[in-house]
Amino acid sequence: MNEHSSGHQNDIAWPKIATQLELTDFDADRRLLDLPGTSLVIFTAQGCTACRYARQRLPGMGLPVERLVWIDAQENFGLVQRYEVFQLPALFVVRDGAFFAALHASLSPAELRRALAEALARAPEELP
């Protein structure tokens, strides 16, 4: 299934990201260490307008990741502290169990693709 992005790129069909996970303080570390490929980890919260936009749009952006991993910042304060989340939504890149970076980009396909490429070009670190 393809979804069209809005704005000036509405002629381009972006493939959906098929896999989405909801992780918590209790299972995030183990799952992120074990998951192969690239995960985009997104901290969100209810009542956050930008978070609702991210939940609605990110799955249809066709980003070069195997999965989106959603973490409720209100319910998982341990992860919020370890990842040093100060603003929502907060996005991070994890590949093959290694932490690469926080993403600082607008929620547009082009900006996110650029930020992902830059993050994955860095040396990996241990998960926070």
The fold of the 2-120 domain, in CATH, is Glutaredoxin (3.40.30)
The pLDDT tens digits of the residues spanning 88-114 come to 999 999 999 999 999 999 999 999 999
Query: Are residues 66 and 21 in contact, defined by beta-carbon separation less than 8 angstroms?
Result: no
> How many degrees, rounded to 5, is the angle at CA 78 between CA 61 and CA 55?
20
Backbone angles phi, psi at 81, to 5 degrees: -65, -45
The pLDDT tens digits of the residues spanning 39-83 come to 999 999 999 999 999 999 999 999 999 999 999 999 999 999 999
